Amino acid sequence: MMLLRISVPPAGLLSTFVGMLLLGLLGGCGKKEPVKDDRPEVVQRLVRLQNLYRQTSGQNQGKAPANETDFKAAIAKLPKERLEDLGVTDVSVVFTSPRDKLPFIVNYVTTGTPGGAGGGGASAAGGPPVRPPNAPGGGPPSGPPSGGGVLAYEQKGEGGKRYVVYSSGQTEEVDETKAKALKLK
């Protein structure tokens, strides 16, 4: 049995190692592939809507949009790159449920923090102020998950259930009993 012996000078070994390291590092640079999102499309849209709501509130010194017109005007001011980062390619799609094909109801606040945690707001349809579920006298005793009020929800949903997104960004599919407890219209 004959062994093949290769002699690599130490300087050559170091440059080979550095070259391979650089190739590995540079190979990871460039445009990232989007992460596959396995959540239902309705959940993805509600989360995008919540992210846009937070983003537009943040760019306005923490003041949440008062109504749909203000919200859409604030979204229009966001850079295209930021919208892409949030997964938004068509703003109009974000406002509509893919299940019932109706616009989401958004609880716009006029005082307090985004998502209804600090005050009442009007629905997207221009209805009366909506009391956040975690406000005194509102919502179920346990309150919504993670403490945020309901930011947006489906009008009808599907199969007697509707998805909601809380101001915290958490989503939940609720039945009519829970919808009534959350004071959804």
pLDDT at residue number 16: 52
Task: Give the pLDDT confidence score for residue 61 in this predicted structure.
Answer: 82
Instruction: Round to whole Å and give the CA distance between 46 and 62.
Output: 20
- Return phi, psi of residue 115, to 5°: 90, 5
Instruction: For the chain, 185 residues long, give each residue's pLDDT as a single digit of tens.
Output: 666 665 555 555 555 555 554 545 555 555 555 567 889 999 999 999 999 999 998 888 888 899 999 999 999 999 999 999 999 999 999 999 999 999 999 998 744 444 443 333 333 333 333 333 333 333 333 334 444 699 999 999 999 999 999 999 999 999 999 999 999 98
Q: How far apart are CA 185 and CA 158, in angstroms?
A: 15
Q: Which residues contact 125 (CB under 8 A, 6 or more apart)?
A: 105, 185
CB 51: neighbour CB atoms within 10 A? 17
Strand 150-153 vs strand 129-130: parallel, antiparallel, or unpaired?
unpaired
Return the exposure string of 86-96: e unless at least 16 CB atoms fall within 10 Å of the residue's CB, then b: bebeebeebbb
pLDDT of residue 109: 74
Instruction: Measure Cα distances from 12 to 18, 105, 119 in Å.
Output: 10, 66, 69
pLDDT at 45: 96
The SS3 assignment for 35 reads coil
Residue 15's pLDDT is 56
DSSP lists the bridge partners of residue 7 as none
Specify whether the CB–CB gap between 116 and 149 falls below 8 A: yes
The Cα 120–Cα 131 span in angstroms is 5
pTM: 0.65
**Where is 106: in which H helix or E strand?**
strand 105-106
Within 8 A by CB and 6+ apart from 154, the residues are: 42, 97, 99, 100, 102, 104, 105, 162, 163, 164
> In the prediction, which pLDDT does 5 show?
62
Q: How far apart are CA 63 and CA 115, in angstroms?
A: 11
